[in-house]
C-alpha cells in the first residue's frame, strides 16, 4: 500500500502529456477572476450536472465525496447514519457552502449531530458545483478555512425547455428504499424576462439493524425542495435577479417519525450594472432554517437567520490589473425555543461589517500575482484581517506552476460566544445522576489558520492534470475545558466552558487526472488524496480523516448506444480513538440509454459489494441499492 501514491503520481505524470487541443477550461466563478480556470489562484474542482447524473446522489455531500481532497467525516456525537464533508481534513464547519455566491445557514456550527447544510437545493437545479480548496477568507470571511463549495444554478435558455425525472431504488437492508421525483422548467417568458423553476421530492425509508430495532441505523428522510429564479433585463447593461428557494425535510429515526422537522428558505434580490471597465453587483438576501424535534428529551426548535447586504465592484480599467472590491453587512441570528420550558429559551444575534479587496496582477507575460485581503469587524470579538497571496507561473500555454499563502478564520458560534448560553447534557440518569453542563464564553477568539500550498497544473481540451501539496496550521480551535463541579439535589453537574485550547497541523497531497477518450471511447477520472493530521494537544491524529483516498471513474460507450459508468472509491485507514476503521472500498455501476427521443433510462447499483462497517463505528455505509431512473427532456 505504501507504493500506491508513488505509482499513481507516476502514471498521472505520464498520462498528462496526451492532450491535443489549445482550449482551456472555463472560468471559476468562485475565485472572482476573469482568467481561465488553469490560471485561477488556488486549487479547485468543477463538477458538472452530467457528472451528478452519473451517480445515485440525493444531496451534494454524496456528490462531493467522489473527488480528491474531499472526504466523509462525522460530526461530534453523530448518529442515525449522518455524516459531513471535510475539505482537506478540516471540520465541516470550516467549509463554507454558497449558492450562486450567497451563504446558506450554517447549521453544523449550532446544531449538534446535524448534516442539514447539504439538502438546500434540488440537484436538478444545479449547473455545476465549484469547490475551491484551501482558505478563502480573503474573499468570503468566516467559515472558509477549509475552502468554499459554491453551487452554481442553471441559467435559462432562449426557448422554454425542461426535464422530468422519476427514480426508484431497492436496498438490500431492512429499509433504505428510495424514491425521487424532480422537475425543472425554464426559458424566456418575454424579451426581457426569464425564469427557471426546479422542484424535487425525495423519500428514503429508515434503515434498521434488526427487524425489531427501535432506533434507525440510518434515518429516513422525506424531503421536498423547490427553487424559483427570475431575471429581468432592464437593458443590455442592467439586470435585476430574484431568487427564492424553499423546502421541508422530515427525519425519521423510527422511534420518532419526526425526529427533526426542518423548514428552509433562502430569498434574494440582486442588481447588476455593466460599464465598459466596471461591473457593479448589488445583492441582498435572507437565509432561514427552522428545525424542530419531537424527541421527548429535546422538544425545542432551532431558528437561524442570516441577513446579508453586499456591494461589489469589479474594475478592469487599469492595464494588467483586475480589481475586485466589496463591502458586506451581515446579521446572524439564533433562537433556541423550548416547547414546554420557555424560561430556558436562548436568543442572540451578531453583526458583521466587512471590506475586501482582491487584485489580480499580470507581472510580465508569464506570471499572475493575486493579492487579496478582507477585514471583518465582529460585534463581539473585534476585527479579523485575512490576507492571501498567490502566484501562477505560465510555463507554456498548457502548463502552470502555482503556489501561495492564505489566512483563514472561523468565528465562534452564537452559542459558544454568549455568556448567557447554558446547555445540560445527561451522562447517567440513574442515581447518582451526572450531567455535563456547557457554558458559553464571550471571551472566545476566532479559530484561525495559516496555509501554504505548491502545485502544478496541466490543461488542454480533453485532458487535465493537477497536483497540489499543502500545509495548514490551525490555532485557537474551540472546544471545552473542565470548569469545576456543581451539586444540585440528586444531580452533579460537571461544568464545561467553551475555550480556545486546541491546535492542529494538517498537511497532504492531492492529485487529479481527467481525460476524455483515453482509449477511443473511454473517459477517465482519477483522484488521489494523502492526508496527515495531528492534534497538537494530544499528539494523536484527528478523528476520521483517511490517510489515503482514491476515487476512480470510468465512462464508456457500449454497443446499442448504452453508456456505462463505473465508480470505485477507496477509503484508507482512519483513526477512531480506541478502534481504528480499516480501509475499505465501494463500487458503483450505472448504465444509461436513450430509449425514445429525449427519454433516457438509467439503471445502476450503489455499493455493489454490499460493504458494511462494524456496528461500533460512528457512521454507517448505505447498503447495496439497485435503482432505475427515467429522465425526459422537453
Q: From the CB of residue 396, how many other CB atoms can be counted at a distance below 10 Å?
A: 8
Mean pLDDT value across residues 185-210: 96
* Residues 569, 551: Cα–Cα separation, whole Å: 5
**Prior bond of 432 cis (ω within 30°):** yes
Burial of 449: CB neighbours in 10 Å, binned 0-12, 13-18, 19+: buried
State the DSSP H helix or E strand holding residue 384, giving kind and residue range, or none if neither. strand 382-394
Distance (Å, whole) CA 455 – CA 181: 42
Under 8 Å CB-to-CB from 430, ≥6 apart: which residues? none
pLDDT at residue number 16: 37
Give the model's confidence band at 616: pLDDT under 50 very low, under 70 low, under 90 confident, else very high.
Answer: low
Specify the DSSP class assigned to residue 443.
Answer: T
Which of 497, 479, 486 lies closest to 422, judged by CA?
Answer: 497
Looking at residue 619, its pLDDT comes to: 66
Return d(Cα 251, Cα 381) in angstroms, integer: 36
Calpha distance 368→36 (Å, rounded): 12
Distance of CA 632 to the CA centre of its chain: 29
How far lies 11's CA from each of 8, 437, 522, 528, in Å? 5, 54, 17, 12
- Any residues with CB less than 8 A from the CB of 342 and at least 6 apart, and which? none
Q: Is the pLDDT of residue 381 over 80?
A: yes
How does DSSP classify residue 554?
E
Order of all β-strands in the sheet with 102-103: 43-48, 126-133, 147-153, 95-99, 102-103
Which pLDDT score is estimated for 156?
A: 87
Q: How confident is the model at residue 18 (pLDDT cuts 50, 70, 90)?
A: very low
Residue 375 CA from chain centroid, whole number: 24
For 347, other C-beta atoms within 10 Å of its C-beta total 13
Is pLDDT of 583 > 50?
yes
Q: How does DSSP assign 246-286, residue by residue?
A: EEEEEEE-SS-TTSEEEEEEEEEEEEEEE-SSEEEEEEEEE
Cα–Cα dist 621/17, whole Å: 37
> Domain segments of the chain: what residues?
4-450+463-633
Number of separate helices (H) and strands (E) present in the chain: 4, 31
Ramachandran area for residue 110 (φ above 0: left; ψ -120 to 50: alpha; else beta)? alpha
79: number of Cβ within 10 Å: 18
Asked if residue 312 has pLDDT above 70, the reply is yes
d(CA 54, CA 553): 10
How far apart CA 77 and CA 52 sit, in angstroms, is 30
pLDDT at 22: 35
The mean pLDDT value of the chain amounts to 91
* Beta pairing, strands 95-99 & 147-153: parallel
Cβ-Cβ contacts under 8 Å for 499 (sequence gap 6 or more): 441, 444, 478, 479, 480, 481
Q: What is the pLDDT of residue 84?
A: 86
pLDDT band at residue 204 under the 50/70/90 scheme: very high
Query: Which is higher by pLDDT, 82 or 131?
Result: 131
Residue with cell 485532458: 463
Class assignment of domain 4-450+463-633?
Answer: mainly beta
pTM of the model: 0.93
Grid coordinates in use for 462?
Answer: 480533453
CA gap 375, 357 in Å, rounded: 9
Tallying the residues shown for the chain, one arrives at 634
The least confident of 102-111, 372-381, 504-513 is 102-111
Grid cell locating 38: 488553469
What does the pLDDT look like over 520-573, one tens digit per residue?
899 999 999 999 999 998 999 998 899 999 999 999 999 999 999 999 999 999
Q: What is the rounded CA–CA span in Å between residue 320 and residue 544? A: 45
Report the range out of 20-29, 91-100, 421-430, 563-572 with the highest average pLDDT.
563-572
**3 state DSSP class of 4:** helix
User: Would you say residue 223 has pLDDT above 70?
Assistant: yes
* Torsion, Cα of 310, 316, 318, 322 (10° steps): 70
Q: Would you say residue 25 has pLDDT above 60?
A: no
| 3-state SS class at 198 | strand
Question: What element of type H or E holds 435?
Answer: strand 433-439
- Structure confidence at residue 157 (pLDDT): 86
pLDDT higher than 70, residue 198: yes
Q: What's the whole-number mean pLDDT along residues 335-362?
A: 95
Angle at 148 between CA 145 and CA 151, to 5 degrees: 160
Residue 188 is placed in which grid cell?
424566456
Give yes or no for residue 320 having a pLDDT over 70. Answer: yes
The whole-angstrom separation of Cα 351 and Cα 207 is: 42
- β 491-519/433-439 pair status: parallel
What is the per-residue burial (b if ≥16 Cβ within 10 Å, else e) of 35-61? bebbbbbbbbbbbeeebbbbbbbbbbb
Q: In the Cβ-directed half-sphere of 15, how many Cα atoms lie within 13 Å?
A: 24
pLDDT the model gives residue 105: 79
Q: Look at residues 313, 330, 261 and name the one whose alpha carbon lies nearest to residue 96.
A: 330
**Which of 453, 79, 486 has its CA nearest to residue 256?**
79
Per-residue pLDDT tens for 62-117?
999 999 999 987 655 567 888 888 999 998 889 999 999 999 977 877 887 788 98
206-215, 302-311, 603-612, range with the lowest pLDDT: 206-215
Q: Which residues contact 630 (CB under 8 A, 6 or more apart)?
A: 165, 166, 167, 599, 600, 601, 602
pLDDT at 238 over 90: yes
Residue 5 has what pLDDT? 42
Per-residue CA distances from 129 to 25, 50, 68, 124, 252 (Å): 14, 11, 14, 12, 29
Supply the pLDDT for residue 586. Answer: 96
Span 428-444, average pLDDT? 91
Other CB atoms within 10 A of residue 183 CB: 18
Q: Using one digit for the tens of pLDDT, what is the confidence trace for 459-481?
A: 998 999 999 999 999 999 999 89
pLDDT score recorded for residue 14:
38
Amino acid at each position: 500500500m505504501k507504493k500506491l501514491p508513488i505509482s499513481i503520481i507516476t502514471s498521472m505524470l505520464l498520462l498528462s502529456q496526451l492532450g491535443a487541443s489549445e482550449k482551456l477550461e472555463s472560468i471559476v466563478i468562485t475565485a472572482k477572476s476573469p482568467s481561465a480556470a488553469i490560471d485561477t489562484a488556488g486549487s479547485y474542482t468543477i463538477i458538472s450536472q452530467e457528472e451528478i447524473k452519473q451517480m445515485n446522489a440525493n444531496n451534494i455531500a454524496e456528490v462531493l465525496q467522489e473527488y480528491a481532497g474531499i472526504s466523509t467525516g462525522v460530526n461530534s456525537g453523530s448518529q442515525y447514519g449522518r455524516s459531513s464533508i471535510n475539505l482537506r481534513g478540516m471540520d465541516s464547519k470550516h467549509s463554507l457552502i454558497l449558492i450562486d455566491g450567497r451563504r446558506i445557514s450554517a447549521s453544523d456550527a449550532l446544531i449538534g449531530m446535524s448534516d442539514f447544510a447539504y439538502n438546500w437545493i434540488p440537484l436538478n437545479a444545479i449547473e455545476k458545483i465549484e469547490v475551491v480548496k484551501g482558505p478563502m477568507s480573503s474573499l468570503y470571511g468566516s467559515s472558509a478555512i477549509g475552502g468554499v463549495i459554491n453551487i452554481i444554478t442553471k441559467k435559462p435558455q432562449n426557448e422554454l425547455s425542461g426535464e422530468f425525472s422519476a427514480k426508484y431504488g431497492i436496498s438490500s437492508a431492512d429499509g433504505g428504499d428510495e424514491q425521487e421525483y424532480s422537475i425543472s422548467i425554464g426559458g424566456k417568458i418575454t424579451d426581457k424576462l426569464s425564469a427557471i423553476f426546479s422542484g424535487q421530492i425525495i423519500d428514503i425509508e429508515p434503515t434498521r439493524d434488526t427487524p425489531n430495532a427501535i432506533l434507525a441505523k440510518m434515518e429516513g428522510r422525506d424531503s421536498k425542495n423547490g427553487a424559483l429564479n427570475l431575471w429581468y433585463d432592464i437593458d443590455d447593461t442592467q439586470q435585476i435577479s430574484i431568487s427564492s428557494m424553499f423546502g421541508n425535510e422530515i427525519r425519521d429515526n423510527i422511534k420518532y417519525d419526526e425526529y427533526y422537522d426542518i423548514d428552509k428558505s433562502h430569498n434574494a434580490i440582486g442588481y447588476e450594472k455593466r460599464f465598459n471597465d466596471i461591473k457593479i453587483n448589488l445583492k441582498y438576501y435572507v437565509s432561514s432554517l427552522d428545525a424542530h424535534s419531537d424527541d421527548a428529551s429535546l422538544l425545542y426548535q432551532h431558528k437561524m437567520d442570516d441577513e446579508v447586504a453586499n456591494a461589489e465592484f469589479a474594475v478592469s480599467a487599469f492595464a494588467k490589473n483586475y480589481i475586485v472590491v466589496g463591502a458586506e453587512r451581515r446579521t446572524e441570528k439564533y433562537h433556541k425555543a423550548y416547547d414546554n420550558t420557555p424560561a430556558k429559551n436562548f436568543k442572540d444575534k451578531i453583526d458583521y461589517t466587512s471590506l475586501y479587496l482582491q487584485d489580480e496582477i499580470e507581472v510580465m507575460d508569464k506570471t499572475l500575482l493575486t493579492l487579496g485581503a478582507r477585514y471583518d469587524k465582529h460585534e463581539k470579538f473585534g476585527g479579523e484581517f485575512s490576507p492571501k497571496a498567490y502566484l501562477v507561473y505560465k510555463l507554456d500555454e498548457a502548463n502552470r506552476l502555482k503556489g501561495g499563502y492564505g489566512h483563514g478564520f472561523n468565528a465562534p458560534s452564537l452559542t459558544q460566544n454568549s455568556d448567557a448560553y447554558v446547555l445540560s447534557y445527561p451522562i447517567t440518569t440513574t442515581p447518582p445522576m451526572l450531567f455535563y453542563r456547557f457554558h458559553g464564553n464571550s471571551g472566545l477568539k476566532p479559530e484561525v489558520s495559516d496555509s501554504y500550498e505548491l502545485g502544478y497544473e496541466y490543461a488542454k481540451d480533453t485532458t487535465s492534470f493537477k497536483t497540489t501539496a499543502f500545509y495548514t496550521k490551525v490555532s485557537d480551535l474551540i472546544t471545552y475545558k473542565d470548569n469545576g463541579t456543581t451539586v444540585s439535589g440528586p444531580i452533579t453537574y460537571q461544568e464545561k466552558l467553551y475555550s480556545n485550547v486546541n491546535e492542529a497541523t494538517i498537511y497532504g497531497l492531492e492529485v487529479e487526472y481527467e481525460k476524455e477518450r483515453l482509449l477511443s471511447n473511454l473517459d477517465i477520472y482519477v483522484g488521489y488524496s494523502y492526508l496527515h493530521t495531528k492534534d497538537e494537544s494530544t499528539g494523536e491524529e484527528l478523528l476520521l480523516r483517511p490517510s489515503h483516498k482514491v476515487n476512480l471513474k470510468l465512462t464508456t460507450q457500449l454497443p446499442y448506444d448504452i453508456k456505462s459508468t463505473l465508480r470505485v472509491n477507496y477509503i484508507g485507514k482512519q483513526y477512531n480513538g480506541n478502534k481504528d476503521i480499516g480501509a475499505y472500498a465501494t463500487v458503483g455501476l450505472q448504465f444509461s440509454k436513450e430509449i425514445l427521443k429525449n427519454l433516457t433510462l438509467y439503471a445502476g447499483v450503489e455499493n455493489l459489494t454490499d460493504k458494511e462497517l462494524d456496528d461500533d463505528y460512528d457512521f454507517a455505509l448505505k447498503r447495496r441499492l439497485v435503482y432505475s431512473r427515467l429522465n425526459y427532456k422537453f
